[in-house]
């Protein structure tokens, strides 16, 4: 199966997001440890909280949906960017090493 780099990055971004969500929500942690894992693995949580506050001022009663929706979308974009950068770096390094 031939996918573009964006397709591979989207797949690996979704996989990384699922692993991060499972690590944060799937295991029992202490409170301090939970906060540490949250900030480390789901870094867009702070931005998602700010976005959900703004959306709740415009449309009351949707704060929970806005928070979780923006949390998933922003963290997916984060992991998509990481995966795409890793794929592009791998392709660049492999092309440079094949020329030598």
pLDDT in tens, 37-56: 888 899 998 999 999 999 99
Domain that holds residue 74: 7-94
Classify residue 2: in a domain, yes or no.
Answer: no
Domain-embedded: residue 64? yes
> What is the spatial distance between Cα 54 and Cα 36, in angstroms, rounded to a whole number?
25
Q: How far is CA 97 from CA 21, 43, 88, in A?
A: 36, 34, 14
pTM score: 0.84
* CB hemisphere CA count around 25 (13 angstroms): 7
Note whether residue 76 is domain-resident.
Answer: yes
Angstrom distance (rounded) from CA 17 to CA 45: 13
57 belongs to a structural domain: yes
User: Does 58 fall in a domain?
Assistant: yes
User: How many independent structural domains does the chain possess?
Assistant: 1
Is 48 inside any structural domain? yes
Asked if 21 contacts 38 with a C-beta cutoff of 8 angstroms, the reply is: no
Distance CA 81, CA 2 (A): 20
**Residue 99 located in a structural domain:** no
Residue 1 lies in a domain: no
Render pLDDT for 55-89 as a digit per residue (tens, 0 to 9). Answer: 999 998 898 899 999 999 999 999 999 999 999 99
């Amino acid at each position: 199966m031939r996918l573009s780099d964006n397709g591979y990055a989207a797949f690996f971004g979704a996989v990384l997001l699922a692993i991060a969500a499972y690590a944060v929500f799937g295991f029992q942690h202490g409170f301090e440890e939970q906060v540490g894992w949250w900030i480390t693995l789901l870094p867009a949580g702070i931005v998602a909280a700010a976005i959900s506050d703004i959306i709740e001022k415009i449309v009351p009663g949707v704060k929970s949906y806005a928070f979780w929706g923006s949390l998933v979308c922003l963290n997916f974009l984060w992991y998509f960017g990481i995966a795409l950068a890793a794929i592009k770096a791998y392709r660049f390094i492999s092309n440079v090493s094949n020329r030598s």
